[in-house]
Amino acid sequence: MRRRSWLLGSAAFLFAPHSEGRAAGGPTITTASELAIAYRTRIEPFWDTGRPIEFLSTRGANIHIRGRYFPRDGATTAIVIASGRTECMLKYKELIYDLHRNGYAVFIHDLRGQGFSSRMLADPMIGHVDVFDDYVADLKTLFDNHVKPTGHNNHVLLSHSTGGCISSLYLARYKRDFACAVMASPMHAPVLPAHPFLAVPLLRLAIGTGFGAHYIPFGTPYRHQRAFSNDAGIFTHSPERWTIIYDTYAEHPTESRLGSPSNRWVLNAYLAGQKAQAQAGVIEAPILLLQAGDDTIVDNDAQNEFAKRLNAVRPNGCIVRRIEGARHEMFIESDEYRSAALGHMFAYLTERLP
């Protein structure tokens, strides 16, 4: 099952009902019962109001990074989303809608090699990056050239999965950019197809013999699977959100779809996770870490180690909220788990930000 989770990659999407600002009793969060109507009548029209972002990366030749900005009148805080592997920004429609109507401006970009950003290889289905520092550099360019100039008082870095690893590396290097961060299912160590003592040497061998830009063993291009099944269930309990995501991906097949990672990507992910754990103690921004209790995609023990190392230097610098029963994709989970994750996040932001 664990090897298969790597090959499947992650997927998911979103939607929500109309309401302005914060609800009197707390945050306004979309429920599954609203999705069928809200996605087409409210969330998609809202998505169309976003302002396109595009810039050339400072790392590599002719690599275009594309994203979207959702301004909010009167918002003092901008949330920047760092997404996960395989993901396209379209997946985050529901989440961005919920963030926006609770009072936040939102930025999102697609990682290089996926989504609407430039692909890295001749075969666009292979998930690939030369080094994870490329992701960090792209995020820094987004922040400096597009986020910071909008003049918000506070900036929050919100991440999922691979984005959590990227965010950890970013926060260790650029200490003053973000007032705080929220990490959902951060990839501080991927679940490898075999024990690292075996997998890492084999990956190095594959790279050394010219197969670094090839799929990992048994890797495949994107496989369309609209029906909710046991395979989908390793990511989420929610057939409603799963189905809408896949239908949305089907409407944008060229931009949204990505297959299994390359050998180099997997090795880089492992090494980046190790680096993120090692550097945790130098991070100054407070962090809320949302941990999925039934995650089979990333290693929760590595998240705990990251938090332990950070808290050893800065007590309570990383608060872990474990959501029992939740699977990896908490932002597209069933209401029980998604509402818990978003509830923790909104409470944390309300407490931390002026």
Q: How is residue 222 written in tokens?
A: 């994107």
- pLDDT tier at 26 (50, 70, 90 boundaries)? confident
Instruction: Tell whether the model's pLDDT for residue 208 goes beyond 60.
Output: yes
- pLDDT tier at 230 (50, 70, 90 boundaries)? low
Q: Where along the chain do its domains lie? A: 2-352
Return d(Cα 225, Cα 78) in angstroms, integer.
35
Instruction: Tell whether the model's pLDDT for residue 27 goes beyond 60.
Output: yes
Higher pLDDT, 21 or 137: 137
Return d(Cα 29, Cα 22) in angstroms, integer.
10
Identify the three-state secondary structure at position 193: coil
Q: Kind and range of the H or E element at 159? A: strand 154-160
The answer for 324, left when phi > 0, alpha when psi is -120 to 50, beta otherwise, is beta
Provide the pLDDT for residue 21.
Answer: 36
Provide the pLDDT for residue 232.
Answer: 58
Backbone torsions φ then ψ of 194, nearest 5 degrees = -150, 175
Read off the pLDDT of each residue in 234-240 and give the average, rounded to a whole number.
Answer: 91
Provide the pLDDT for residue 354.
Answer: 81
In the chain, pLDDT over 70 holds for what percent of residues? Answer: 90
Return d(Cα 332, Cα 335) in angstroms, integer.
9
- pLDDT tier at 4 (50, 70, 90 boundaries)? very low
Instruction: Tell whether the model's pLDDT for residue 12 goes beyond 70.
Output: no
Read off the pLDDT of each residue in 315-327 and give the average, rounded to a whole number.
Answer: 97
Provide the pLDDT for residue 10.
Answer: 32
Does residue 7 contact residue 191 with C-beta atoms inside 8 Å?
no
CATH superfamily of 2-352: Alpha/Beta hydrolase fold, catalytic domain (3.40.50.1820)
Q: Kind and range of the H or E element at 54? A: strand 51-56
Q: Which residue has the tokens 């970009």?
A: 109
Instruction: Tell whether the model's pLDDT for residue 217 goes beyond 70.
Output: yes
Instruction: Tell whether the model's pLDDT for residue 22 goes beyond 50.
Output: no
Quote the pTM value: 0.91
- pLDDT tier at 6 (50, 70, 90 boundaries)? very low
Read off the pLDDT of each residue in 154-163 and give the average, rounded to a whole number.
Answer: 98
275: which DSSP letter?
Answer: H
Read off the pLDDT of each residue in 206-221 and give the average, rounded to a whole number.
Answer: 95
Of 46-50, 222-226, 233-237, 307-311, the least confident: 222-226
Provide the pLDDT for residue 227.
Answer: 59
Read off the pLDDT of each residue in 109-114 and give the average, rounded to a whole number.
Answer: 98
Q: How is residue 156 written in tokens?
A: 């929050």
- pLDDT tier at 193 (50, 70, 90 boundaries)? confident
Higher pLDDT, 104 or 246: 104
Read off the pLDDT of each residue in 32-54 and give the average, rounded to a whole number.
Answer: 96
Return d(Cα 52, Cα 70) in angstroms, integer.
9
Provide the pLDDT for residue 231.
Answer: 61
Residue-wise pLDDT tens digits, 262-302: 999 999 999 999 999 999 999 999 999 999 999 999 999 99
Provide the pLDDT for residue 9.
Answer: 36
What is the average pLDDT value for the chain, to the nearest integer? 91
Read off the pLDDT of each residue in 44-67 and give the average, rounded to a whole number.
Answer: 97
